[in-house]
């Protein structure tokens, strides 16, 4: 199938739209499967590489760090060069990084594996930075919520398959083969993407390299400070890094003030609906990551489950999310996000508290229903919040909104992963339960921020005008 010669004003026709979404589905599935599978394998990776759990978590943190420092610059490049070009380049780098990760896994070096994961992270940033911008231009305005719901469904199904795929691979092969599955599918996705994704016209603004460097430095210092403190590098060094991050971020914001399409989207963050959606996203994804990174250690440690059982039990979370996501997408086109997200994050809070109170010898059902409540709550939150964030931005700033959407998600995920290491270092054998309680507090904070949208007059009219 050939890409459309020109992008219609209000989305693609049904046939080309289906092909484009199929391409996005395959590409996003690769990134999500990879992350979910690696989370399940972390205890095994730590054991085989003779590393502590805190050190092994760097396999996750390095990936997230690479994404964080490059996400907004790549979103800005998407505005300049076209979203499809950045998406395809990211997919190519991600696939090359998977090949490097597979090769480095056999060296027995955690450092080399971490470097390969950084390469994959840069590729994933290319995909994530413009993913929702592509979803927005593919779908008509009145079907945006459904399109985002379908995107969330794809992510949820991939997340559900991730632990199961990981369990299956670990049952018959060693953990390095978790990276191998990305290679053939990445090559296939790249070939399809060249023919199906619409090439949107770029804008006239030039890429702001100094701002890109300031952005990378600010986010890099922020994440390394949090992670460094978690890994015992000392409060003084972490404090200095946080101070340097704050100064760098202030310089970045000051540089963006006079720009019509700023790399760091302060123009969008001035919009209250957009800023509240960002805050809600950080809280929700922080809660999810705190739980999903710590749960494998909880299940395989105090609860005595093996790695295959862990993968299967954890599948209940994304599986329930997958059931709710399409319904949530339809509701997002009809009801205020403050209500839907508040209810969803409240349900997730209840599920996390229930997981933290698991008995010493729980049955599989005891674990599954608690995971299911968490997944249902997260599924109800995700599509309405993403739609609210995109709807609050003008169409010409879709790249900036898409980049900030992913930045908010990755900020929550990266901070969550770093906090897992910190809690494990401080709380010892009780680390997993304490982490789940911390996740519950993040979920509660997200619900409070989301509910603030209900107090804004004319919110629905403003959303429709932005659409």
Computed on alpha carbons and rounded to an integer, the radius of gyration of the chain in Å comes to 21
CA 55 to the chain's CA centroid:
21
Digit-coded pLDDT (tens) for 348-387: 999 999 998 888 888 889 999 999 999 999 989 988 898 8
Burial of 463 (0-12, 13-18, 19+ CB in 10 A): middle
Mean pLDDT in residue range 152-178: 76
pTM of the model: 0.77
Query: How far is residue 288's CA from residue 435's CA, in Å, rounded to a whole number?
Result: 11
CA 394 to the chain's CA centroid:
23
Strand (E) or helix (H) holding 212: helix 209-230
Mean pLDDT in residue range 170-187: 84
Digit-coded pLDDT (tens) for 408-454: 887 887 788 778 877 887 777 677 888 999 999 999 999 998 888 88
Mean pLDDT, all residues of the chain: 82
Residue 48: how many other CB atoms lie within 10 Å? 16
Residue 438: how many other CB atoms lie within 10 Å? 23
Select the more confidently predicted residue: 208 or 190: 190
Architecture of domain 14-208+259-466 in this structure = Up-down Bundle (1.20)
Mean pLDDT in residue range 292-309: 82
Query: How far is residue 441's CA from residue 333's CA, in Å, rounded to a whole number?
Result: 29
Cα angle 13, 81, 206 (rounded to 5 degrees) comes to 140
Residue 106: how many other CB atoms lie within 10 Å? 11
Which residues, in sequence order, are CB contacts of 174 under 8 Å at separation 6+? 48
Cβ atoms of 313 and 371 within 8 Å: the answer is yes
């Amino acid at each position: 199938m050939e890409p459309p010669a020109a992008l219609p004003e209000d989305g693609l026709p049904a046939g080309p739209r289906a092909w484009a979404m199929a391409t996005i589905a395959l590409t996003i599935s690769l990134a999500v499967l990879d992350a979910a599978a690696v989370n399940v394998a972390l205890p095994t990776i730590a054991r085989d590489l003779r590393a502590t759990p805190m050190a092994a978590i760097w396999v996750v943190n390095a990936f997230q760090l690479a994404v964080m420092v490059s996400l907004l610059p790549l979103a800005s490049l998407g505005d300049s060069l076209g979203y499809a070009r950045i998406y395809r380049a990211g997919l190519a780098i991600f696939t090359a990084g998977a090949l490097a990760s597979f090769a480095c896994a056999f060296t027995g070096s955690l450092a080399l594996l971490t470097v390969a994961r950084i390469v994959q992270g840069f590729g994933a940033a290319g995909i994530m930075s413009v993913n929702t911008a592509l979803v927005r231009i593919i779908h008509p305005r009145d079907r945006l919520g459904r399109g985002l719901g379908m995107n969330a469904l794809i992510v949820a199904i991939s997340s559900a398959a991730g632990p199961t795929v990981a369990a299956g691979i670990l049952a018959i092969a060693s953990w390095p083969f978790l990276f191998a599955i990305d290679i053939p599918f990445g090559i296939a996705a790249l070939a399809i993407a060249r023919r199906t994704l619409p090439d949107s016209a770029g804008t006239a603004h030039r890429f702001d390299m100094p701002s890109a460097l300031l952005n990378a430095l600010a986010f890099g210092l922020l994440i390394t400070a949090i992670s460094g403190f978690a890994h015992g590098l000392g409060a003084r060094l972490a404090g200095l890094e946080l101070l340097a991050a704050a100064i760098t971020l202030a310089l970045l914001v000051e540089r963006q003030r006079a720009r019509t399409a700023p790399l760091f989207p302060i123009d969008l963050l001035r919009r209250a609906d957009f800023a509240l959606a960002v805050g809600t996203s950080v809280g929700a994804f922080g809660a999810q990551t705190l739980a999903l990174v710590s749960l494998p250690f909880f299940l395989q440690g105090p609860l005595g489950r093996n790695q295959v059982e862990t993968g299967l039990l954890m599948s209940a979370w994304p599986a329930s999310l997958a059931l709710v996501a399409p319904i949530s997408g339809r509701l997002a086109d009809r009801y205020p996000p403050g209500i839907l997200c508040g209810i969803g994050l409240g349900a997730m809070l209840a599920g996390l508290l229930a997981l933290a109170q698991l008995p010493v010898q729980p049955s599989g059902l005891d674990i599954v229903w608690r995971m299911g409540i968490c997944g249902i709550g997260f599924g109800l939150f995700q599509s309405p919040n993403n739609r609210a964030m995109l709807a609050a931005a003008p169409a010409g700033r879709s790249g900036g909104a898409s980049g900030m959407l992913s930045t908010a998600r990755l900020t929550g995920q990266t901070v969550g992963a770093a906090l897992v290491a910190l809690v494990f270092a401080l709380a010892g054998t009780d680390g997993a339960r304490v982490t789940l309680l911390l996740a519950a507090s993040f979920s509660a904070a997200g619900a409070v921020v989301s509910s603030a949208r209900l107090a804004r007059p004319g919110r629905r009219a403003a959303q429709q005008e932005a659409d």
